Amino acid sequence: MKEKDNDSSKKSSLMTRRTFLKGGALTTAALSTGVLGAEVGEAHLALEDYPSALKRATVTLKVNGLRHRLEVEPRTTLLEVLREELQLTGTKKGCDRGQCGSCTVLLNGRPVYSCLSLAIEAVGKEILTIEGISDGETLHPVQRAFVQEMGLQCGFCSPGQILATVALLGKNPSPSEAQIRQALAGNLCRCGAYPMIFKSVQTAARLR
Partner 1 sequence: MTLEEVIEREGYSVIGRPTPKKDGWIKATGEAKFADDLYFPGMLHGKLLRSPLPHARILHIDTSRAEKLPGVRGVVTAKDFPGILYGDFAHTRDYLPLAQDRVRYIGEEVAAVAATDMDTAEEALDLICVEYEPLPAVFSPEEAMQPEAPQLYDRAPNNIASKSEFHYGDVEKGLAESDYVREDTFETQSMKQGMLEPHACVGLWEGSGKITLWSCKSSPYVVWRHLAMGLGVDPGNIRVIQTYIGGSFSGGKQEGMPMDFCAVILSKKTGRPVKFVHTMDEVLVIGHMRHSMKIRLKTGVKRDGTLVAQHCRIIANGGAHASIGQLSIFLPGLGLNLPYRVPNVQMESYRIYTNTGFAGALRSHTQPQICFARESQIEMIAKELDLDPVEMRRKNARAGGDVTPSGFKLGTFGFLDGLDRVIEASGWREKYGKLPRGRGIGMAGSGMISGARLMSHSASSAQIKIREDGTVALMTGSADIGQGADTVLSMIAAEVLGVRVDDVTYAMIDSDVTPLDPGAFSSRVTLWTGNAVKQAAEDARKQLEEVAAQKLKADPKHLVFRDRRVYVRHDPQRGMDFASLVRSTQNRLGHPVMGQGSYTSGDEPIAVQGGYGNASPAYSASVVVVEVEVDEETGHVTLAGIWNASDCGFPLNPMAVAGQSMGAFTMSMGQALYENLIRIEGQVMNPSFRDYKMPLIVDLPKVENVHLFDIITNDPNGPFGAKEAGQGPGDGVIAALANAIYNATGVRVKSLPISPSKILSGLEESRSNKP
Q: Which residues contribute to the site for partner 1 (CB under 8 A)?
A: 2-3, 11-20, 23, 47, 83, 87-97, 99-100, 102, 129-131, 134, 139, 143-144, 146-150, 152-159, 162, 177, 181-182, 184-185, 187-199
What is the separation, in whole angstroms, between the first and last Cα of the chain?
63
Query: CA 170 to CA 208: how far, in whole Å?
Result: 10
Least distance to partner 1 from the beta carbon of 92, Å?
Answer: 7
Least distance to partner 1 from the beta carbon of 155, Å?
Answer: 3
Nearer to partner 1, 38 or 55 (CB): 55
Query: CA 48 to CA 142: how far, in whole Å?
Result: 48
Least distance to partner 1 from the beta carbon of 193, Å?
Answer: 6
The residues facing 118 across adjacent strands are 77
Question: Cα-flanking dihedrals φ and ψ of residue 2, to 5°?
Answer: -55, -40
Nearer to partner 1, 38 or 51 (CB): 51
Nearer to partner 1, 57 or 196 (CB): 196
Least distance to partner 1 from the beta carbon of 121, Å?
Answer: 20
Q: Which residue from 126, 133, 135 is spatially nearest to 161, judged by alpha carbons?
A: 133
SS3 label, residue 155? coil
